[in-house]
């Protein structure tokens, strides 16, 4: 794949992003939703490592209603390419940066009257309507307007400010238990019902992320925030059906050598050969976010066969035991993560080995690693952040 779609400058460590699989996963999500339920495609953290610009393009082409990011710079990066799609910042935007968000027609999450007043003043100064969502604190205790005796009057004041359009209201499940999630939902809905009693209607109410969408169809409300499921991360219930992995992390063998019993490999000789061993070197390391925690635990796949990581994973390279794959040679393709069920290294497997969640494994892959976008098994675009 790599040699057919790139020039000589691109590294021989890369990720392939299958946009056909992204579209398939999006279609699986839509099967679970009512026709009027909107979808916000979550493309924060460089679209979970998949590349936000091109993932956003694919989502827009497939009729996504909104893009959702974590911070202002992520929103502005997208706005440079896509002028019309609504973009929601789900996290905190510092007050001194709010003007940039308004100038770029970004939808802003707030959780204080003070920021709403600042936004109203900015809107008046720029002669623009400012679209906001209010985040409500229901028990996650991360960000949100705390529910107390003043919350309805605060929201009412925000609603009545000049140049403010209160488009949305949301919270985030802690996903502890069904009972605690239900409490969070009911807390949000209680606020909404009290507002409606005062004639304040919120067009877009949302609480579900990917997991919430799958396990709580009764809580879909007006919009769901679709993140990990789009990228092929399966929920434990698997009610969403079989998903397809969007990312495959690959490299190539850069050297093959034979060492004798007693010879060490890598820093501290954490691996010492007990017998004659064939060692392969790979041009990928923890600076690419092939995580050092996989030392002594990780495996790679070469032509359908597994090879273990030996020695400590270095910043830019790592070593594998090729003794059981004696025909392996320099230039052979190596799968580090992803791939099909026969030749793949599953996301679940990697996350379990290093005791983290699957989203972290995807989202931390370095921008040093080029993204090769494919559709219907054909390469259509390459993004090499260092060269571009």
Q: Point out the residues that are catalytic.
A: 44, 267
| Half-sphere exposure in the Cβ direction for 218 (13 Å, CA) | 6
Under a CB-based contact definition with an 8 Å cutoff, are residues 373 and 15 in contact? Answer: no
Report the DSSP beta bridge partners of residue 248. 16
In the three-class reduction of DSSP (H, G, I as helix; E, B as strand; rest coil), residue 350 is classed as helix
State the pairing for strand pair 38-42/271-272.
Answer: unpaired
| Cβ neighbour number for residue 143 with a 10 Å cutoff | 16
Residue ranges of the binding site for substrate: 142, 315
Among residues 109, 111, 164, the alpha carbon closest in space to that of 141 is found at 111
Q: How far is CA 256 from CA 149, 201, 262, 337, in A?
A: 69, 66, 18, 21
The C-alpha atoms of residue 306 and residue 304 are separated, in whole angstroms, by 7
Residue ranges of the binding site: 142, 315
Q: Burial, 197: exposed, middle or buried (Cβ in 10 Å; 0-12, 13-18, 19+)?
A: exposed
Q: Which two tokens stand for residue 318?
A: 């790592």
Report the DSSP beta bridge partners of residue 247. 17
């Amino acid at each position: 794949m790599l040699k057919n779609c790139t020039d000589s400058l691109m590294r021989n460590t890369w990720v392939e992003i299958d946009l056909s699989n992204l579209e398939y996963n999006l279609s699986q999500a839509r099967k679970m939703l009512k026709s009027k339920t909107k979808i916000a495609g979550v493309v924060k953290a460089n679209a979970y490592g998949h590349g936000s610009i091109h993932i956003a393009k694919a989502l827009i082409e497939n009729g996504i209603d909104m893009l959702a990011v974590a911070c202002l710079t992520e929103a502005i990066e997208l706005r440079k390419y896509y002028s019309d799609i609504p973009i929601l910042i789900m996290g905190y935007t510092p007050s001194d940066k709010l003007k940039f968000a308004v100038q770029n027609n970004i939808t802003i999450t707030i959780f204080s009257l003070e920021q709403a007043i600042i936004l109203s003043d900015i809107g008046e100064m720029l002669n623009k309507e400012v679209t906001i969502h209010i985040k409500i604190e229901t028990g996650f205790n991360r960000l949100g307007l705390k529910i107390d005796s003043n919350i309805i009057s605060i929201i009412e004041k925000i609603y009545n400010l000049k140049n403010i359009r209160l488009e949305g209201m949301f919270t985030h499940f802690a996903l502890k238990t069904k009972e605690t999630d239900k409490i969070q939902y009911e807390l949000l809905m209680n606020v909404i019902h009290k507002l409606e009693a005062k004639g304040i209607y919120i067009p877009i109410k949302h609480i579900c992320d990917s997991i919430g969408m799958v396990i709580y169809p009764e809580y879909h409300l007006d919009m769901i925030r679709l993140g990990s499921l789009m990228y092929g991360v399966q929920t434990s219930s698997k009610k969403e059906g079989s998903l397809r992995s969007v990312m495959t992390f690959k490299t190539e063998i850069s050297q093959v050598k034979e060492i004798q019993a007693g010879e060490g490999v890598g820093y501290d000789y954490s691996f010492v050969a007990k017998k004659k061993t064939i060692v392969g070197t790979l041009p990928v390391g923890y600076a690419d976010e092939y995580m050092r925690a996989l030392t002594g635990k990780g495996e790679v796949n070469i032509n359908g066969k597994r090879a273990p990581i030996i020695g400590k994973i270095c910043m830019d390279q790592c070593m594998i035991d090729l003794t059981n794959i004696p025909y392996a040679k320099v230039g052979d393709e190596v799968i580090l993560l992803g791939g099909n069920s026969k030749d793949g290294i599953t996301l679940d497997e990697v996350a379990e080995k290093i005791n983290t969640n699957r989203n972290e494994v995807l989202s931390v892959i370095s921008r040093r690693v080029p993204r090769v976008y494919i559709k219907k098994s054909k390469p259509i675009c390459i993004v090499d952040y260092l060269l571009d």
